[in-house]
Structure 1
């Protein structure tokens, strides 16, 4: 399964560690992580997945693949800016949202449009997002729905 992990680009240490845990758990279960490829939650989830031997895909807002964080295995340049958020969500079978601001909120909207199951860890409380209390619960929720 491919899982889109979305969230804040500037996060606390605790939130970053949650993202690392989510990435690690998905990789240990053989899933590919798809994200926006930059910092914060995106870097954390890629770090966790990479360290556990998993695959990571970063769908970047700009035209330069070298802008991806160092844990992205497959960087995809789009030149679309925030419009790339639709592609991040569309390329996962499910979504995990960790923290996040307005960009994450747009991705949650796309998750609804594309009918993706969404687990939320400290993110926006909107319809369609199942709030969970741990990385393991987030992984279990999306695995049960795909």
Structure 2
């Protein structure tokens, strides 16, 4: 089974960004991937909707604390609840051969840096794909060694990602 984990904003007010999430999910499902995500709203919901439309399976890795304060994602085919953030991150990461991040906030950055650190520190072999102009700023960061940028793939938008898939 091919598994990809997606990361992205839990709240999305931009219809174009939401639609891009749906398109990404559909694309992944149509290419035979099982998709894991955080299991809530925003881009997690959008990707899940696309996976469902594409006939695929999407697994939501949720956090018991959030279950009480965040709306349910109606598009999940499976939900795996976790007790704490560390367990949630572990479940999101395990068995995935690719990680894709769309626009997000601190939680998304946390997830990106976690998988990036694992790739670098343990020499693990998986793809990290960042989709969105916002991530082009990594190329200008002085706190990220330039040789570490080779560990990630940065795409201006979803269409560029799909062409390089």
Q: TM-score range by the shorter chain?
A: 0.7 to 0.9
TM-score normalised by structure 1 residue count: 0.84
Q: Deviations over 1:55-104 (max 9, x none)?
A: 1001001175xx64111101000021465234213342111100011111
- Give the match's secondary structure for 1:27: helix
Aligned to 1:76: 80
Partners of 1:86 and 1:107 within 8 A in 2: no
Specify the alignment match of 2:10 in structure 1. Answer: 9
Q: Which has the larger radius of gyration?
A: 2
Report how far residue 31 of structure 1 moved.
0.7
Deviation track 1:13-36 (CA, whole Å, cap 9, x = no partner) reads: 111111111100011111111100
Structure 1 unaligned spans of 5+? none
Q: Distance in 1 between matches of 2:163 and 2:72?
A: 28
User: Residue 118 in 1 paired to residue 120 in 2?
Assistant: no
Shift in Å, 1:113: 3.0
Taking a change above 3 Å as real, the CA distance of residues 19 and 101 of structure 1, as seen in their structure-2 partners, is same
> Normalised by the size of structure 2, how large is the TM-score?
0.75
RMSD, matched Cα: 2.4
Q: Hey, what does 1:105 align to over in structure 2?
A: 109
How far, CA to CA, are the matches of 2:93 and 2:158 in structure 1?
19
Gap regions ≥5 residues in structure 2 = 120-125, 139-148
3-state DSSP class of the match of 1:57?
strand
- Determine the structure 1 residue equivalent to 2:49: 47
Aligned length: 142
